[in-house]
Copies of this chain bind each other. A is one copy, B any other.
Amino acid sequence: MSISKLVSGVEDACSGIQDGMTLMLGGFGLCGIPENCIDQLVKLGVKDVTCISNNAGVDGFGLGKLLSGHQIRKMISSYVGENDEFERQMLSGELEVDLIPQGSLAERCRAGGAGIPAFYTPAGYGTEVAEGKEVRDFEGKPHILETALTADFAFVKAWKGDAAGNLIFKATARNFNPMMAMAGKITVAEVEELVPLGELNPNEIHTPGIFVQRIFQGKSFEKRIEQRTVRTRKTNS
């Protein structure tokens, strides 16, 4: 009999979050971010959290909501270029920031979930990122040692999910969500569509339910588009 991860809603899903915790949040830009949980974090008013997220949202949306309430003590990200308030807090020293290469961020989260405490990567060798890190040559090429990342809570957003915690993501909304699901001590999944057990094809599941501790049907996803780029139907080029 499968193990149920179903909780009633975002309140239950986010219970136990405390000030000072380390949180992972899936998404790339505003694509595939856990909107419901972010709103709940604002509502709960948790403070001094460390957020591990590829980006920091935009002013007033995504993690930007937590930033404007000064709820974040430290950000671990790879790219934060879309957020003026972020840049202001960082340059003024209000916000501690650890910028790391995107591939290393993804791999470090996966490593955290996979019981790999550390690995070598060429990314960042010879840069600020390598400062204080072990350097070792493999086949004549220098690599740096990167360590695993884990989190007290990981928040991911999926397209479909079931009570067993199995998740399917849609298109490029997958991004960091699967690795962060692996790396959370408590992983919370909000889904656009909660389907009956057995409806997901076991061959098509991206994140096995074993990595998810709590799942709920999300509400009112805004799914804001950051850069709406289109071809006009007239020219069709």
In A117-138, the 8 Å CB interface with B consists of 117-122, 136, 138
Q: Is the CB of A118 within 8 A of B119?
A: yes
Q: On chain A, which size bracket covers the interface?
A: 20 to 34
Q: Is the CB of A168 within 8 A of B203?
A: yes
Q: Is A198 an interface residue (CB 8 A)?
A: no
- Report how far A147 CA is from B120 CA in the complex, Å: 10
Q: Is A16 an interface residue (CB 8 A)?
A: no
- Report how far A171 CA is from B201 CA in the complex, Å: 10
Q: Is A116 an interface residue (CB 8 A)?
A: yes
Q: Is A170 an interface residue (CB 8 A)?
A: yes
Q: Is the CB of A170 within 8 A of B120?
A: no
Interface residues as binary, A17-45 with B (CB distance below 8 Å gives 1, 0 otherwise): 00000000000000000000000000000
In A99-131, the 8 Å CB interface with B consists of 107, 111, 114-122
- Which of B117, B139, B143 has a CB less than 8 Å from the CB of A138? B117
With contact pairs A107-B116, A116-B107, A117-B139 given, residues A170 and B122 touching in the complex (Cβ less than 8 Å): no
In A170-212, the 8 Å CB interface with B consists of 170-171, 202-204
Interface residues as binary, A200-233 with B (CB distance below 8 Å gives 1, 0 otherwise): 0011100000000000000000000000000000
- Report how far A120 CA is from B119 CA in the complex, Å: 6
* Residues in B whose Cβ lies below 8 Å from that of A203: 168-171, 204
Q: Within the complex, what minimum Cβ distance (angstroms) separates A27 from chain B?
A: 17
* Residues in B whose Cβ lies below 8 Å from that of A122: 115
With contact pairs A168-B203, A202-B171, A203-B171 given, residues A119 and B111 touching in the complex (Cβ less than 8 Å): yes
* Residues in B whose Cβ lies below 8 Å from that of A170: 203
Q: Within the complex, what minimum Cβ distance (angstroms) separates A206 from chain B?
A: 8
* Residues in B whose Cβ lies below 8 Å from that of A171: 202-203
- Which of B107, B116, B143, B168 has a CB less than 8 Å from the CB of A120? B116
* Residues in B whose Cβ lies below 8 Å from that of A136: 118
Q: Is the CB of A138 within 8 A of B118?
A: yes
5 shortest A-B CB distances, which residue pairs? Answer: A117-B138, A119-B119, A204-B204, A118-B120, A116-B119
